[in-house]
Amino acid sequence: MSKMFSEIEPPLREFIERQHIFFTASATADSRINLSPKGSDSFRVIGPNAVAYLDQTGSGNEAAAHLRGDGRLTIMFCAFDGPPMILRLYGRGRSLPHGSDEYAKLLVTVFGGEEPPGACQIVVLDVESVQTSCGYSVPLYDYKAERQTLKNWALRKGDDGIREYWREKNTVSIDGLPTGMLEVLGEAAE
């Protein structure tokens, strides 16, 4: 029931672009596995073997720490309407932190220069393989809208408040791994 691909073929790209949510999974050899849902309005296919998502500030920064330490990243999409399917992208990822030259370049070329409030990094995945599977057990759900809660929270915090939140909550993972946010904040890593 599953099929493997060496790249994101056009029908698979079309499937990805129709989805409203995706999930990321990352870990290092000695850390907890992090699994996070993301809104797909932040996701872009940038080539047959490359994707990126614009990550907003959250309660932690596990993916950045895991990518620095190990690099493995899996992204999963599920069809919650229409024909059933699960699609997984496997590969090596990297975090382009807010304020870096690479971040600024991709923000313009891939995201049209539109940066949501509280954006902290762009995660790029170099796709090594793609797997589809049946998705027969995935339930059907109706999409209503994107939540505005995180954007509103970031707007209320403002740029200084976001940077302070990064300092307090996003400099290390729950396992104590560095995320790279100290460098973004212009502070030396300990």
Architecture of domain 3-184: Roll (2.30)
In whole angstroms, what is the distance from residue 185 CA to residue 116 CA? 19
Residues in the chain: 190
In whole angstroms, what is the distance from residue 12 CA to residue 130 CA? 9
The string of pLDDT tens digits covering residues 66-123 is 999 999 999 999 999 999 999 999 999 999 999 999 999 999 999 999 999 999 999 9
CA angle 93, 99, 100 (to 5 degrees): 50
pLDDT score for 190: 52
pLDDT score for 189: 58
pTM of the model: 0.95
In whole angstroms, what is the distance from residue 6 CA to residue 2 CA? 14
Q: Which residue has the tokens 């229409």?
A: 82
Tokens of 102: 């690479």
The string of pLDDT tens digits covering residues 122-155 is 999 999 999 999 999 999 999 999 999 999 999 9
The string of pLDDT tens digits covering residues 158-176 is 999 999 999 999 999 999 9
